[in-house]
Structure 1
Amino acid sequence: MCEEPVEERPLPPPFMWACVECAWFLLRLAQKWDDPEGCFWEQLQTARHIAASHPAEVPHQHLDGCELCPGYARRDDGDVALVWAQHRARDLFMPPSLARLM
């Protein structure tokens, strides 16, 4: 996954454990976490599912110096809202140092 040490993953919120799809994505992510090829696809799938199926649960814009949120906020083209929601949703299940890479 990464060569550098990464802070612990956050405990996903209750809504993710109550959703069969979220729980399945979390399981796949956990299984692939230490895979030498990484777990990028699993991260994307999980974030995409949350943004599409649980939009009310997606955190608000990062106000703590996130380098990506201001750029997303300035854009108004079609897919940017979904991509930005996926970016913010990653905070629910990824350490911040990894969640905010995309």
Structure 2
Amino acid sequence: MIGEPVEELPLPPPFMWSCIACELFLLRLARKWDDPAGCFWEQLETARHIVESHPGEVPPQHLDGCELCPEYARRGDDHAADVWAQHRARDLFMPPSLARLL
């Protein structure tokens, strides 16, 4: 993964630009994007905010061969449901190759 080229960041959807908190999370993510320590926490914070504050904007289950969605779907607990929603929300602001790692 390190040293491999990553696709460009997708253009976040309009709802994220009309939410001050989303804008702040996106700015934090952008500032840390090239940091050698990574931007893991910024990704998680952004996804968590989307799930909690914009649940209707979370994309549906990935039906294009995602390896994680079937595993999340099998689990029936609330924590897994939240993590699965965060997994899907990452598609809104991360390249697919990175968004689907968690």
- Superposition TM-score tier, normalisation by shorter sequence: over 0.9
- The residue correspondences of 1:19-98 to structure 2 (distance < 5 A) are 19-98=19-98
Give the aligned residue type for 2:28. Answer: R
Residues 18-56 of structure 1, C-alpha deviation per residue, up to 9 Å, x if partnerless? 000000000000000000110001000000000111000
**CA-CA distance at 1:98 after TM superposition:** 0.1
Task: Tell me, in whole angstroms, the C-alpha distance in 2 between the residues paired with 1:48 and 1:85.
Answer: 8
- What residue is the counterpart of 1:18 in the other structure? 18
Report the number of matched residues. Answer: 102
Q: Secondary structure at the match of 1:43?
A: helix
Q: Secondary structure at the match of 1:62?
A: coil
Kindly, what percent of the aligned residue pairs are identical? Answer: 78
Superposed CA RMSD in Å reads 1.0
Task: Tell me, in whole angstroms, the C-alpha distance in 2 between the residues paired with 1:30 and 1:92.
Answer: 14
**TM-score normalised by the chain length of structure 1:** 0.97
Task: Tell me, in whole angstroms, the C-alpha distance in 1 between the residues paired with 2:38 and 2:72.
Answer: 26
**CA-CA distance at 1:2 after TM superposition:** 3.7
2:10 is the counterpart of 1:5 = no
2:101 is the counterpart of 1:101 = yes
Q: Secondary structure at the match of 1:79?
A: helix
**CA-CA distance at 1:8 after TM superposition:** 0.8
Task: Tell me, in whole angstroms, the C-alpha distance in 1 between the residues paired with 2:57 and 2:3.
Answer: 31
Structure 1 outlier segments of 4+, above 3 Å: none
